[in-house]
Amino acid sequence: MLLAAAASLAVTVLPGVAKAAPDPAAAEATSPQEATELVAAANDQLEAVTEEVNDAQVQLEEQQAAAAAAGEAVAAAQAQLAALDTQIRQVARSAFTGENLGHFNALMTSGSAEEFLAQVNMLDAIAGHTDDVLAEVAAASAVAQEAKAGADAAAATAQQTLDQVTAKQADLTTRITDYRSQFAALTAAQQEEVQQSQAGPALPAPGGSSASRSVTAQAAGPVPAASEAAQVAVDTALAQLGDPYVWAAGGPNAFDCSGLTQYAYAAAGVRLPHSSAAQSRMGTAVPRSELQPGDLVFFRSPVSHVGMYIGGGRMVHAATFGVPVQVTSVDMAGYAGARRFAA
C-alpha cells in the first residue's frame, strides 16, 4: 500500500532553493523513502519561495516609500523656487528700477565723496546678494530635477517589483496546491517523518507552556531575557504555541516563520519586515555561543527560515506545513547565523 501511494506521487513543483535531495520537479517517487524525500524537498522549496515573495513585498514597500519621499522633495523644491523667484523680483526691482540706487543717481544725489562711496557700496552689496540668490535658485532647480528623476525611477522600479511579486504569488499558489496533494498521498508515518525533518523534534515548552497559556502567564515562565523588549517578544512567540502554519501568514491565529517573529517583536514595539531574508540583514550579529532569549536564528543559504531562540539550546518557530508553532532544538541543519534586535 505504501508503494502504491508513493507511485501515485507525480510531483510537479518547480525548481527552487532546496537541500540535497531528488529534484521534485523532475522525479517521480518509486519507493516510500523517495516519496518522503521528494515531499520534504518540495516543502523546502515552498518555504524558500514564500520568503522570496515576502522579501519582494518588503522591497516594494521600501521603493514605494522612496518614490513618495522623492515626490515630497520635488514639491519642497518647487515651493522653494517659487519663494526665491519672488525674492529675485524684489531685489531686481530695488537694484535697477527707480529706487535711486544706480551709480549715476548715487553720484548726482551725494552731498559728499563719503556719501557717494556709501551708496555705491550699498549698490554693490545688493548686486552681490542678487548673484547669491540666483545661484540658490539654480541649485534649487537642479535639486528639483534630480528629485523628480529619482521619483520616476523609483516608481518604475516599484511597478516592476510589483509585477514580479504578482507572478511569484501565482506560482506559489500552484506550488501549495501541488504540495498538499503530495503530502496527502503519504501515509501518516511518512507525513510525520516529513514534518520532523522540516520542523525538528517537538520539545517541551518552558515551564510546561502550552498554546492555551496567556502572555502574562508566559512572562512568569523560566525564559529570562536580557531586556524588556526581548522578554515581550519571547513571551508573545511562546503564546502562539499550537497555532497552525500557513504560508505567508502573519497572525494573529496562523503564521509562517517570519510572520511569527514579526508578530512577536511587534508586540515589543520593534518593527520587523515580514521576510526572513530581510530580518537577517537587520539588528546586530550574534555568535552562536552568545545566543540569548529573543535572538532570531536563521537557516539555509540564501536565508529562507527563521526562529526565535528561547534559551537552553531551544527555539520557537513556525516550522512547516502541517506542523503548528512549536519548540524545538536550535541545532537544525542549515544554521546560517543569528541577529539581536533588543539589547
Spatial neighbors of 72 by CB under 8 A, at least 6 apart, are none
Q: Is-catalytic flag, 274? A: no
Distances 50 to 162, 247, 274, 303 between C-alpha atoms, Å:
15, 7, 10, 12
Alpha helical stretches, state H, 97-112: 103-109
User: What sign has the CA pseudo-torsion 226, 227, 230, 232?
Assistant: positive
In the chain, what's the furthest Cα-to-Cα distance? 119
Q: Where are the beta strands (DSSP E) in 186-256?
A: none
Q: Where are the beta strands (DSSP E) in the chain?
A: 284-285, 296-299, 305-311, 314-317, 326-329, 335-340
Q: Is-catalytic flag, 305? A: yes
Q: Which of 103, 129, 274, 317 is catalytic?
A: 317
Q: At what angle do helices 32-96 and 188-199 cross, to 10 degrees?
A: 40
| Run of H or E including 343 | none
Please say whether the beta carbons of 9 and 182 come within 8 A.
yes
Q: Is-catalytic flag, 257? A: yes
Amino acid at 298: F
| Catalytic residue positions, numbered | 257, 305, 317
